[in-house]
A and B are shown apart, each in its own frame.
Chain A
Amino acid sequence: MHIPDAFIPLPQAAVYWIIALVFIALALRWARRELSEEKIPLVAILAAGIFAIQAVNVPIPWGTSGHMMGAALAAIVLGSPFAAVFILTLVLIVQGVLFGDGGLTVMGANIINMGVIGGFVGYYSYRGLLPVFKSPYAPAFIAGWLSLFVASLACAVEMALAGTFPLELGLLSMGLYHAIIGIIEGGITAIAIYLITTARPDIMAEREVVPA
């Protein structure tokens, strides 16, 4: 889902950068204020962890391999969508500058898709569904799935606005592909949250809703 350079014209890319910068600034403020202390280092190291998590090859039922995005996981465990914005921004900078995975001029768009949309959709769908299911696992699954699916749709819309991929086909192919990959994202998010609540329940930001 990493849009490469040249697929979004410079003026549009600049607009995405500005929007992304606003969210990055808010995420920095969150890391300074909302985390119980000045825990920026913790989030930075967690970003390295999420980068590693994205490198884990995950089997997809029809034989290919994929990998996780991790935005929903980070947002749910740390209890804020800004955690995902912060972490995914760092991950995308490293991926873009060191590996050429995702362009520089379009990094704003990529941060919006994976960090902002992934984080906000993941976090708020989890929070919204929690009272319905009374257990964290089904909401975590849906949150993981939705975060990837909605982010991919946003990516398709941006490419269509740029005139580099037709809207209907983009929505269909990106949406369909990520609807399938999203099952993996959701499944791993749910199981990882099960593991975290079992092994280190104190990490989870909203402990009161997690059955002991």
Chain B
Amino acid sequence: MIEDLFFLEKQAYKKSPVHALDARVKIIIAFAAIIAIVAVPYSTMIYTVGAIFFAFFIVLWAFSLLSPAVYLKRLAVILPFGIFLIVFQIFFKNPYYESFTTIATLPFGIEIYAESVQFASILLVKFLVSVSFIILLSSTTRTQDLLEGAGRLGLPAEFTLTLGMMLRYLYVFGYMIRKMTQSLETRCFNPFDRTLPYRYRLEKVAYAVGTLFIRSYEQGERTYTAMLCRGYGRESHLYIAKKPLKGRDWTFLAAGLLLIIATPLLAWARIIVLA
């Protein structure tokens, strides 16, 4: 994940109409889309809502001028656990349906139910849409802008300060991990090498973990002392300048929110039905 951090920031520093939008607007749109898609009940109307939301995401991604490969690469990192949970759904009965029809019987008495397959597909739609909006948000917004945007939206000062410091040092430790791995590699140590005793490998990895802990603690002490020297105290907080939204931001925010709120309502009222 730490290598992805550098990849992510590289994408976020590119220029495009989506990158240029204010971070606040992107945060609100992404969060609203995720909350809306999660709020839609587990029913087949999710297909309509999901399709429209996903189309909205694709349009935004196209305007971000990022390659689809970036999206797919990031998606591949996120998917495994969610997909594991989704695939297994087809074998289970769940409380959201009253009756279940078997469509296939496997050895050991395992059955696949039509309703469960449908439920799995509903979960998949919700999962994909929410993950896509997170990928869009973090691929087009620099972490520093995200932080300031969150602060302007009212995230308490304690959090902007701590998250800000954490984000800054994330990259420091990213490089540190890279150096530690490289120096272990130059000594021909591979934690997955089966010719080495397991205990030995675990010990080496644990030393790396312990060292990282001590180094981050010491970095914390140094930074804290440095901050004290510059007047850090109880009332200190991250300074975030006021920044009014531009006309373009307001337009996009209004249009985006309208789409996100109207789509589930219209699908619920069966005014738009795609599937």
Contacts and interface: CB of A to CB of B under 8 A. Distances in A.
Interface string B187-224: 00001100000100111011111111111111111011
Interface residues of A, number: 70
Interface stretch (B59-67, B134-142, B254-262): B134-142
Contact of A90 (B166, B205, B233): B166
Given A9-B42, A90-B162, A100-B78, 7 more contacts: A38-B234, A49-B169, A52-B174, A59-B202, A65-B192, A97-B134, A99-B77
B152 interface: no
Nearest to A184: B202
A5 B166 contact: no
A200 B78 contact: no
Contacts of B134: 96-97, 99-100, 104
Contact of B209 (A40, A93, A99, A188): A188
B55 interface: no
Contacts of B74: 100
A13 interface: yes
A55 B82 CA distance: 19
B29 interface: no
Contacts of B205: 56, 58-59, 188
B131 A5 contact: yes
Contacts of A184: 202
A94 to B, nearest CB: 7
A28 B123 CA distance: 35
A93 B156 CA distance: 14
Interface of B: 1-2, 4-5, 8, 31, 34-35, 37-39, 42, 74, 77-78, 81-82, 85, 88-89, 92-96, 123, 126-127, 130-131, 134-135, 137-138, 143, 146, 158, 161-163, 165-170, 172-174, 176-177, 191-192, 198, 201-203, 205-221, 223-224, 227, 232-234
17 contacts: A4-B85, A44-B161, A44-B162, A44-B163, A49-B217, A49-B219, A52-B216, A61-B198, A90-B163, A97-B134, A98-B146, A100-B78, A100-B138, A103-B34, A105-B38, A190-B206, A192-B209
Contacts of A30: none
Contacts of B223: 41-42, 45
Contacts of B8: 98-99
A163 B94 contact: yes
Nearest to B93: A166
A55 B205 CA distance: 12
Contact of A55 (B1, B38, B88, B191): B1
A58 B78 contact: no
Contact of B214 (A2, A104, A200): A200
Contact of A10 (B35, B95, B216): B35
Contacts of B209: 53, 56, 68, 73, 188, 191-192
A187 interface: yes
A83 B173 CA distance: 20
Given A46-B220, A48-B166, A55-B177, A4 B81 contact: yes
Interface in A183-208: 184, 187-188, 190-196, 199-200, 203
Given A4-B127, A42-B221, A52-B173, A203 B146 contact: no
Contact of B217 (A9, A32, A42, A51): A42
B210 A195 contact: yes
A59 B158 CA distance: 37
A4 to B, nearest CB: 4
A43 interface: yes
A56 B38 contact: no
Interface in A146-169: 159, 163-166, 169
Contacts of A68: 209
A189 to B, nearest CB: 8
A38 B126 CA distance: 42
A45 B165 contact: yes
A200 B217 contact: yes
